[in-house]
Structure formats: structure tokens, C-alpha cells
Amino acid sequence: MTTRRELVAALQEIAGPRNVLWRREDLLVYEFDGTVETQMPDAVVLPANAEETARVVQLCNRARVPVTPRGAGTGLSGGAVPTRRGVVIATARMREIFELDPVNQVAMVGPGLANIQLSEAAAVHGLFFAPDPSSQKACTIGGNVAENAGGPHCLALGVTQNHVLGLEVVTAAGEITWLGVRTQEPTGYDLRGAFIGSEGTLGIATRVVVRLLPLPPSVVTLLAIFDSLEQASETVSAIIGAGMVPAALEMMDRLTIKAAEAGLKCGYPPDAGAVLLIELDGIAELASEQAARAREACFACGATGVRVARDPAERADLWRGRKHAIGALGHIAPNYYILDGVVPRSRLVDVMARVTAIGAEYGLAIANVFHAGDGNLHPCILFDSREPGATERVLKAGGAIMQACVDAGGALSGEHGIGYEKQRYMRWLYNDDDLENMGRLRGVFGNAGDFNPCKVLPSGAGCGELARQQAALRAAGPDAYV
């Protein structure tokens, strides 16, 4: 048994006393991410580089202390929740831009760099980083890599995996290595691809080489207004079926629109049943021609109106409403539980009807805001966690919604990851052989069960021992670590 005091002292020797948190009041903000699950770590360490990160991982491995990697804590699947306590390794100090090469259109950055800061730095050279999660002002590149994050503008350009060329990583064994290269077409097995989206179960990225793209020469942004969610859903298939792949194709329902307009004043019609935010880019002639075709498709499916953003300021307002809509739901309820299912576009109407029925069945309001173009749904279940039994009811409703997505031929996640939240659903899609082979990959990177435990795979890495360990910890006293 290693005492907590000994653990903290050893961490301070590696990263310095200022970069190790151990007091309860400091640890409180590290016990949760964007989900409803919570667990307080025993300590948090903020290393400065790969070398310090590797030493921390090696220390924890020797002491059999669980490790939980953490970026900005904006994740929405419980991936950064320290389910078995232990040490949280936070990457917030590693936020440098080591290189920005406009000729080769690549950049090398630290994992703690905020997503939007990369695009702001690249914009000076007429470039941008395509993945743009709605939390991009806060979320970090390392977290984007861990979750294979997407965003509203990933319909045509792809998610994080499509824009990362190479990674410096500290493996779960505490070794420093590079995965991938700076070229577009690396040879050999794609360990880079295996690492991206592994949700902190294989290691921690300490440097990331990303691909940058030229800013589009012209952008047209449309807001299509509908009386019903069904009409808007049918329009999504109509636009894609007409041979267009917009830069973005986003949908919001009546409840979300009302919340966004009340809190953000972004110009949405508060009485609409649903709106589609459609963005087309490219050379001016092509963007204008496709915008006209998209407008026709909207009216053919029952749109009551289609607005075109007249200038960059109006475009920014429309996107502000979409990207901050979830936060605006606080005008309706104090808590929300956001889901991340994926369904074929052709099943949007059916699945959204099922989501509405599940809300009614459990007596819960559900606001919908999602990446309609690729069928990535984000139902937000609204509730008050102070109400007895409310959280349990919400989790049951969430499970029913995820089951509806899978039944429709969809998947458990489009961009938020599996994390702790959905690992118990993995058997819906994978058999025992599949799951065993996934677990073997962890061993290749040195994860014997203590590196981000209880994540992604069912009963992951000793989760069943959690209650026993916590009971033993309480019995041993406040200075003990089990």
C-alpha cells in the first residue's frame, strides 16, 4: 500500500510542487467532465512535457496507481472521470505551437492548445484546422485526438483522424514514441489511426502534427425554417441526394431554438418547429449555385422560409446560436444529459419520432441539436438532478435512445466517444471475440488495467473492484491509497 502523502511527494519531485494538486478544494473541479458521473482523484499532476509525463506514468505503474489522462475536461462521455481515483494527468501546461509551416500546410502543437487557438494562428496564413467541435473555444487538441472529435464543419472534410499526420505519445507503459509521420501517406501499420479515438486507454499525446487546409474563398450560409422536425429531416436527405455535400448541415428543434433565442438573441425564429443551418463553400460561382439548389430542396420539403446571411456578422450570429445552443438550455432546466448516437440519414425521421416517444414515456423534455448531414444525433435530456430519482430516470431514457439508434443500423458514438457512459452498451455491436481483440491492443501499449480504467470496453479493467477499493480506502484512513 502506498500512502497518498508519499504519492504526492513523488509527483511533486517530478513536476514541481506548484504543478501537483492534492487538497480537496483543488480536486473538486477534476472529479467530472461533461457527463453526470463523478469521482474525485487522489491527486492531479500537470507535467510540462513528454519526459515529465513519462516519469509520472512510470511512477504510477510501479505503485499500481490508476492513471486518468485529461485535457480541458469538456468531454461528454465520462472519459476524463477518474473512476478508480488515482492520479489525473492533465495536459493543460503543454499548449505550445512548436511549428506552423504554411508552405507544407502543417503545424506541430502541444495537446493542451485550445482548438480555436490553432485555427486563429493558422488564419494569419490563410489556413484553418478543419475539426471544429462546438466547444472549440475551450476543448484542446489532445482531447480532440483522444475522442476523435468532429464538429459542425466535418461533414465534407472529416473528423480529427483525417487531419492528424503524426503524434508524439507517452504510452501506458511510460515509453515515449512517435506514431505516424509528417507525410500524407505513411507506410506500414497505422498505429497513429489506432491511437486516435482510443480515449486515453493507450497513452497520452504530448505533441500533435496536424494538417491545415486553405480557407475557402467563398462561403454562403442559409437558415431554413420549418414547421416540423420531420420536414427538416426529410430535407437533409433531399440535399445530399441532389449530389451536394455541404460544408455543414445542422439541425435544431423547437425547444432548442427557443432556448438559444432567449439566451443568445441570434436571430432564430422562436416559433419555428425546426431550423436547418446550411453552409456551402468553395469558389464563389459554385457556392452560389449550390446554395440556390439547396434553397429549392428546402422549399420542396415544406420550408416556410430560407434566409441567407448577408454578411460575416450575420453568419457569425447564426453560428453563435448553433455552437452555444446547448449551454442556452440552462434557461429551461438546471441540468442536461447529452447523447451522441449515429443513424443513417434515411432513418432520421423514424428515429427522431422514437426519441420524442421516449421523452414522453419517461416524462422528460428532450431538446435536439445535431449534425444532421451525417446523422449524428445529440438529444439533450433536460432535468433537475435535485429531484429524487431524476438522474436514474434520465440514464434509463438515454439507454433507450441509444438502443433506438443501434436498432436503426447506427452506432453508439459519432464524436463524443464511448468513455464510461456507454461502455456497457458495447455488446450491442461487438461480440466477445471483437472485444477481446480490442483489449489485446491495450496490452501492446502497456496498459495492464490501470490506465484510464473502466472506459470503452465493458467492465473495463477492474471496474467491478471499484466499490471494494473505495470501502477499503475509507477503512484505511484519509492518508491511504488502495
Please say whether the beta carbons of 176 and 58 come within 8 A.
no
Q: What domains are there in the chain, each with its CATH number?
A: 4-92+440-476 (3.30.43.10), 97-214 (3.30.465.10), 218-327 (3.30.70.2190), 333-407 (3.30.70.2740)
Report the predicted TM-score, pTM, of the whole model to 2 decimal places: 0.92
In the chain (482 residues long), the average pLDDT of successive 10-residue segments reads: 89 98 97 93 98 98 97 96 97 98 97 97 97 94 97 94 97 97 76 97 98 96 96 95 94 96 90 96 95 97 97 94 92 94 94 96 96 95 96 97 97 95 95 95 96 88 47 44 42
Instruction: Give me the pLDDT at residue 182, please.
Output: 74
